[in-house]
Homo-oligomer: A and B are copies of this chain.
Amino acid sequence: VVTPIGSDMYSWLSDLFPFNRSLTGKGVEETLMYLQGIFPNLVIHRVATGTDAYDWKIPYEWNVATAYIENSSGIRFASYQENNLHLVGYSIPVNKLLTKEELLPHLHYLDKQPNAIPYITSYYEKNWGFCLTYDEFLQLGEGPFRVVIDSELKVGHMSYGEIFIPGTTQKEILLSTYICHPSMASNELSGPVVATALACWVQENKLKHSVRILFLPETIGSIYYISRHLKDLQRNLRAGWVLTCLGDNQALSFLPSKAGNLYVDSVSRRVLSRREENFREFDWVERGSDERQYCSPGIDLPVASVMRSKYGEYPEYHTSLDNLEFVSAEGLQTSFEIYQQLIIATEQSKFPKIRVLGEPQLSRRGLYPATSDLGTFARVVDRLSVISFMDGTLDTEQIASLCKMPVDVAEGILNELDTANLIDWV
């Protein structure tokens, strides 16, 4: 395994773009198998339709062979073969001749973005529909129209993927992304391809933290996963992020956890502000993906989200314009690097506890100048400041902040103390 670069991720994203992802079905399976081709240790789990998960049940599996609208001249519109966004997600099978009046309630378009196909689903109510550009809509002409949706809703499975790369400790980093949106590039595929690239990189680098990567159908997938693994997540999770909207190379966005002051929030703000002083921090109420489940009352996991242009904040969002042109190899590469930095920062975060009562005798460990004069005292003062806060409840960053010193100075001091066998890392 070699760590992929932006062009690899862009290439994967291009390959995955046409697959018909939804909550379930072949598009999801194909997506997971494609990613498995890149990272063979990705495990595909399948959960049967009807399985309970908290307040939910796993839905029917949905598959589509073809779908289109044909007018009286035999011209086809909104062809699923051409773009799977044309078909409303979870549309039931239809084969009917309809007047224009009968057809209209089933058509979705955006008159203000006349060249964009909107993304519409109808997961939990039996319905059907087509999405098309306003331009195409204007060319429909008069009916009757033959509507063909060759789809099936059957008892089957919901599939999700899981990569687990054990670290040297039980503490885990969670990367959660989703694989349920059809042909949309930044809001969705950027997440799985960056996550997969991160898996390749983590695999190469033995980490202290175990890294768990979940490729889930949004909402139902995370609810199912949490319902089966809550205790483990609550015990082991150090920090988690939802990976989405990572394909453009523009904004840098942070959505904090519901608590807003957890370690995951602190390390995210730290990494982002180092990268760009004016990254944009959103409020919890602007959240919109699986952090909703991870931070639900009674679940309360430390999960946040770092994004580029955030869902709902860019005009191409949830339309066919969130496409291969909207995202770029550079954007993916930069997003990958940001998450690398989040993981590396988490790897580096430490909670030191001094092993002795009273100050340790630094001089016999070479940590106090043999000859004490004023000149060398400043360095020793910093060391003693760090020691005075090593109570096991504060991490390095907090200690550095309390000591009013740069983090690298605190880290240097902790390294010295660690070498001297004076620290329990808790």
Contacts and interface: CB of A to CB of B under 8 A. Distances in A.
Interface of A: 53-56, 88, 108, 118-125, 127, 129, 219, 222-223, 226-227, 230, 258, 283-288, 292-293, 295-299, 312, 317-318, 353-354, 356-361, 363-364, 368, 370-374, 377, 381-382, 384-385, 387-392, 402-405
B226 A358 contact: yes
Copies of the polypeptide in the assembly: 3
A118 B373 contact: yes
A88 B426 CA distance: 41
Nearest to A296: B358
A357 B127 contact: no
A284 B386 CA distance: 11
Given A359-B219, A363-B125, A118 B374 contact: yes
A55 B297 contact: no
Given A388-B284, A388-B295, A391-B298, A357 B227 contact: yes
Nearest to A224: B358
The 8 closest A-B pairs by CB, nearest first: A124-B363, A125-B370, A297-B391, A55-B356, A223-B358, A54-B358, A285-B385, A55-B360
A317 B375 CA distance: 12
Contacts of A360: 55
Contacts of A387: 296-297
A373 B297 contact: no
Contacts of A371: 88, 108, 120-122, 125, 127, 129
Contacts of A377: 312
Per DSSP, chain A at the interface is loop
A318 B55 contact: no
A229 to B, nearest CB: 12
A224 B274 CA distance: 44
Contact of A359 (B127, B223, B288): B223
Nearest to A131: B373
A370 B122 contact: yes
A37 to B, nearest CB: 31
A55 B361 contact: yes
Contact of A297 (B54, B293, B353): B353
Contacts of A53: 358
A357 B123 contact: no
Interface core residue of A123, A298, A359, A360 (most chain B CB under 10 Å): A359
A294 to B, nearest CB: 9
Given A56-B358, A283-B404, A296-B357, 20 more contacts: A55-B357, A108-B373, A119-B373, A121-B371, A123-B372, A127-B371, A222-B358, A230-B357, A284-B385, A285-B382, A285-B385, A287-B388, A288-B381, A292-B384, A292-B388, A296-B358, A296-B359, A297-B390, A297-B392, A298-B391
12 contacts: A55-B360, A118-B373, A118-B374, A119-B373, A121-B371, A123-B363, A124-B370, A226-B357, A293-B359, A297-B391, A299-B357, A318-B374
A271 B297 CA distance: 29
Nearest to A298: B357
